[in-house]
Amino acid sequence: MTDGSDDTTEDRELLSDRIRNALADEIATGKLKAGAALDEQHLADRFGASRTPVREALRQLAANGLVEVRARRGVVVSRMTPERIMDMFETVAEIEAMCVRLATYRITPLERSHLIELHDASEAIVKNGDFDAYDNFNRAFHEAIYHATHNSFLAEQAIAIRNRLMAFRRAQLQQEQRLDRSWAEHEAIMQAIAEGDGEMASRRMRAHMLNAATALRRFIEANKLA
């Protein structure tokens, strides 16, 4: 949702939003490295725009924590140490665990059907080894859980924090067995939800997220990223 990637109304998209998304993506993919200075005029030239929308984009990124503004001294990409990334992962893991606990107690039959449907459909994706499709499913699965908390503010926060972390998800599921194990962990979570055991669902979700984090950490250390 609210992705903006496949917009048919491209001419309506604001230049500042385009720049913001582009910069966020470049920071996410590592094209713009941590600590790099972001010169307004330079960026304006690169995007064929003036400094005004660039500045607005940078301010929004700053509010999201992706860059830091030092008054009158320019903007730099926020430093992402391995420790900080692990902190972010732990935070997301805890929030996901919190969400699934609340969701277990509050999910409606209709929402439960939807979740089961999603989960069942994902089995075929795993068999095909389709990483991109699984990534999409995975997002839908977790967002369905956020939604089932029946706390829209919490759901928004969870999505926002998850999106910030998604900067580093590109490497997360690149290992085949991780995809299998991810599905198995989802299965275990689904079972706990079905049994109405929110605490167990919570523990399993936390473990699930930390497993993903560990896989990523190994990848980062192996490739000397960040």
The footprint of DNA (CB under 7 A) covers 12, 14-16, 37-41, 44, 48-53, 55-56, 69, 71-75
Q: From the CB of 40, what's the least distance to DNA, in Å?
A: 4
Tell me the two tokens of residue 162. Answer: 């998850």
Concatenating the DSSP letter of every residue in 174-205 gives -SHHHHHHHHHHHHHHHHHHHTT-HHHHHHHH
Interface residue with a second copy, options 5, 72, 177, 224 (CB under 8 A): 72
Interface residue with a second copy, options 71, 109, 132, 223 (CB under 8 A): 71
Q: Give yes or no for residue 121 binding a second copy (CB under 8 A).
A: no
- Answer with the entry of a second copy, DNA, none that 74 interacts with (C-beta below 5 to 8 A by kind): DNA
Rounded Cα distance between 1 and 213, Å, is 25
Tell which residue, 138, 144, 112, has the closest CA to residue 126: 138
Rounded Cα distance between 164 and 19, Å, is 17
CB closer to a second copy, 60 vs 175? 60
Asked if 99 and 154 count as a contact pair (C-beta separation under 8 A), the reply is yes
- Answer with the entry of DNA, a second copy, none that 73 interacts with (C-beta below 5 to 8 A by kind): DNA
Determine whether 133 is exposed, middle or buried from the number of CB atoms within 10 Å of its CB (0-12, 13-18, 19+). middle
Instruction: Let me know the angle formed at the C-alpha of 217 by 180 and 222, rounded to the nearest 5 degrees.
Output: 100
- Answer with the entry of DNA, a second copy, none that 65 interacts with (C-beta below 5 to 8 A by kind): a second copy
- Answer with the entry of DNA, a second copy, none that 152 interacts with (C-beta below 5 to 8 A by kind): a second copy
Tell me, rounded to whole angstroms, the distance of Cα 24 from its chain centroid: 12
Rounded Cα distance between 10 and 147, Å, is 29
Interface residue with a second copy, options 94, 111, 143, 185 (CB under 8 A): 94
Q: Give yes or no for residue 12 binding a second copy (CB under 8 A).
A: yes
Interface residue with a second copy, options 46, 84, 106, 218 (CB under 8 A): 84
Residues that bind a second copy (CB under 8 A): 12-14, 16-17, 52, 55-56, 59-60, 62-65, 71-72, 84, 87-88, 90-91, 94-95, 98, 102, 151-154, 156-157, 161
